Each structure stands twice: as C-alpha cells, then as structure tokens.
Amino acid sequence: MSTATPAPEAISRVRLARRAAQVPPSATAALDAQAKALIAQGVDVINLTSGEPAFPTVEPAGQAALDAIAADFTRYTPAAGIPELRAAVAEFLNRHGTTYEPGQVVITAGAKQALHYAFTTLVEPGDEILIPAPYWVSYPHLAALAGGTLVPVRPAPGAGLKVTADQLRAAVTDRTRVILLNNPANPSGVVYDRTELAALVQVAIDHDLAIISDEICDHWVFGAAEHVSVAALGPEAAQRTLTIGGVSKTFAMTGWRIGWVAAPAPVAQAITAIQSHTASAPSSISQKAAHGALTADLTSELERRRLELDERRRTTIKALADIPGIEVDGNPEGAFFLLADVSGTYGRTLAGRTITSAADFAELLLTEANVAVVPGADFAAPHHVRISYTVPPDRLTEALGRLAAFVDGLGKRTA
Ligand code: PLP
C-alpha cells in the first residue's frame, strides 16, 4: 500500500448527506467495469454481465438524430418531451391493450430516471414498497433515495422464482404504499402470465396501493410467453399504475438515454413539474432518435432479433442443464438473463480457494476461466449468478464451454 500523502485536491472536507452516503455504486456496473478492465489489458474475457442486447442501434434512430442535428434541433424541448414522441410512445404502449393518451406520457433520460421520478412522486419517508424477489439491483437504492424502504417478497423454494398473490398480501402493512412489478423480470428472466399478474394487481386494488410496473423488456418474451401490460388489466389497474419503459432494450439504444413513464394524468403532470426543475427535459436529439425508432417499420428487424436472442437463450439453458452442480432456476422466458443456482458447487476448490458463495463462484470463474457473470446477492438471490446471454453465438458457445470446463476442473468437496 502506498504511504504517499494524497494531493490536497484529493482530500474531501465535504460531508455527504446521509441519503447520498448510503448509496453504493451499482454491483452490476462494478463487475461489468472489472471485466472491461481485464479486456482492456488484453485478457480474452467473455462478458456475460451485460444489461443490454448486443445488437446495433436500429438504423432509423441514427438517421433521425443526424437529421435533428442538421436541422439544429438542439434547444430545450417541452419538459414532458416533444409532442410527437409522446404520441408515438402512447401508440407503442397501446399495442398491449392500454389506452394511454399522449398527455399521460412523460419522456425521461432512460427508464431509470423514470423510476427515480416515480419513487420521488409517490413515496413519503417511511413508506414501504413491496417487490417480488429476486429484483433488479437499483430498486432498493431508488426507493431509499425517496426515503422509502423496499420490502422483498420472496418466492417459495421450488416455486419457479415467482411469488403468489397470497405472499404479496401477507407482506402488506400500514406503511405499504406501492407494489413494484418488473415483468419480464431482471435478473431471473421469468415472465408472470396474465392470471398471475391479475392476482398480484388485485392485491394493490384491495389495499388501495399504487403500482409501478417496469416493463422495459416488454419486447423480449420467448416461447409461449406473452407480454401483459399491467395497465391493460382493466380500469382499476390503469388508474393506479405507472408504466415504465423506454427504447433502451427494444431498439438497442441504451446510450441514447430515452425512457418514459405513462401514468394517470395528475401523476404525469407532477412528474413533468419535477423534471422541469431537474433535467428540464431529455436530450432533444435523442428524443428525435427515439421518435425515428418508434415510427419506422421495424417489425421484421425486431422479430429477427427476438428470434436470434431466443436461440441464444435455448443454447444457454441446454448447456447449463448438462453441468452438474449448476441449475437454472425458474423458467427464463423473457428479458435476456437467467439465474443459475450454483450452490451445488459449494465446498469445491480451485487455485487454493473453496467456493462458499455465489460471489466466490463468480470471482473464480472470472479469474480462472475468464468468464464474467454477476453474483446474485444484490438481487436477493445469494446462491445464484445472473447470466446475460446476449453476446454473439460464437462467444456464447465459447463461454458456456469454459463454464463447463471450469466446473469440471473444480476439486472435490472439502466438507
Ligand atoms: N429497469 C430494468 C429492470 C432494467 O434492467 C434497466 C436497465 O438495466 C432499467 C430499468 C433501466 O433502463 P434505462 O437504460 O432505459 O435507464
């Protein structure tokens, strides 16, 4: 360790507010960064941590952005977003049976910012937000920033990583304010069907709770699964639901930072007011790009991508089924992730180390086999690793081969 005195500008005399001090950096981002750093050093790491499909941004988005720059469309836009994009989003959402008007849509800098606004708008200090576990890493921190507490509702063992309405109902307290649903789910890839979803929504109706429904992966459903939008489950659902989405995953536009929230009009207005004093509005150029993506005929291109991803999903599930000690949990029919239970490798050894947790497993897999996956502790899945299967097929096959060889090479159980 260096004993050199840090430069004066490296020393902070600034006291962080508790709300900032309590927020750790995203664990997924940290692992992604670690894998990318190894790649930059020339190590042939295959990165299965990524939260984005490995496809290029759809072509009409880029062209619309270039046109926007050429036309000097580079000023503040209305706080809720440009009208044509709000209308295009409403139409895009309504393909799932909702009846959103453009005035109910607020355009944000990614779905993440939409979630931040949703929590800020709904949650009072001390409020509880129920969430089926496993859940996406950012939710607890987004809830905490608004002064709320995320309360995980855990699935029963062997229940396919899904919670029931009875489990959700049992977790409701006087402080519960919101039920947060994420379907298709990150990190598990499970997809709740219409009946299951309607039962969860009924809990919100019975207890007069709001619903935040994160449907960012609505395009990525496979096999027999279909995407069901919560706000399409009837007027009682629509009147209490904030639908979160964006272009990031469907159109491979994560860096453009365009998302949205669609909500009952007074909620949309409150969110617009908050955005007007914080971001002003998302990037004008990115809004035009999103509009280009949403209004082009991309049906066959998006379907081709969906089928490609489905192929990678099937390849991954099949390969993992043949690896003793690793088990895919639940039925990953959506998004581009799955959770693999690695507790069957606990007690086994490699390079003088014994695997006692999913974090050990992930670290050894990265350092010894150069495959990066995310350990599940921050997703409330401590015995699982999340595998993102979006990488190109040849890299995926290579990664799955390395994974199999890694497990095969583990020393015998020590306990
Ligand atoms: N919600 C979920 C479940 C996600 O996985 C992600 C991104 O990883 C987001 C929201 C954020 O999406 P965006 O990139 O549009 O902010």
pLDDT in tens, 291-329: 999 999 999 999 999 999 999 999 999 999 999 999 999
For the CA of 52, the closest atom of ligand 1 is 8
pTM (global) more than 0.85: yes
Tell which one of 106, 186, 256 to mutate to probe ligand 1, the residue whose CB is within 8 A of the most ligand atoms.
Answer: 186
Question: How far is 370 from 393, CA to CA, in rounded Å?
Answer: 17
- 263 CA to middle of ligand 1, Å? 18
122 phi/psi in degrees, rounded to 5: -100, -30
Tell which one of 183, 216, 249 to mutate to probe ligand 1, the residue whose CB is within 8 A of the most ligand atoms.
Answer: 216
Residues contacting ligand 1 via CB (< 6 Å): 51, 110-112, 136, 182, 186, 214, 216, 246, 248, 254, 259
| 342: helix, strand or coil | coil
How far from 347 is each of 285, 364, 406, CA to CA, in Å?
Answer: 53, 13, 15
**Of 36 and 374, more confident:** 374
Asked, as a colleague might, if the bond just before 157 is cis with ω within 30 of 0, I would say no
How far from 278 is each of 1, 29, 45, 64, 226, CA to CA, in Å?
Answer: 41, 24, 39, 26, 36
Mean pLDDT of the chain: 94
| 105: helix, strand or coil | strand
Of all residues in the chain, the percent with pLDDT exceeding 70 is 97
Q: Could you tell me which residues come within 8 angstroms of residue 164 by beta carbon, excluding any fewer than 6 positions away?
A: 156, 196, 199
Mean pLDDT of 377-394: 94
Q: What's residue 29's pLDDT?
A: 67
Q: Could you tell me which residues come within 8 angstroms of residue 324 by beta carbon, excluding any fewer than 6 positions away?
A: 344, 407
Q: What's residue 19's pLDDT?
A: 87
- 376 CA to middle of ligand 1, Å? 17
- 325 CA to middle of ligand 1, Å? 31
- 62 CA to middle of ligand 1, Å? 21
Which of 1-15, 46-60, 165-179, 357-371 is modeled with the greatest confidence? Answer: 165-179
For the CA of 182, the closest atom of ligand 1 is 3
Residue whose CA is at the smallest distance from ligand 1 atom 3: 186
Which tens digit of pLDDT belongs to each residue from 217-265?
Answer: 999 999 999 999 999 999 999 999 999 999 999 999 999 999 999 999 9
Task: Decide: 184 and 221 in contact? Cβ < 8 Å.
Answer: yes
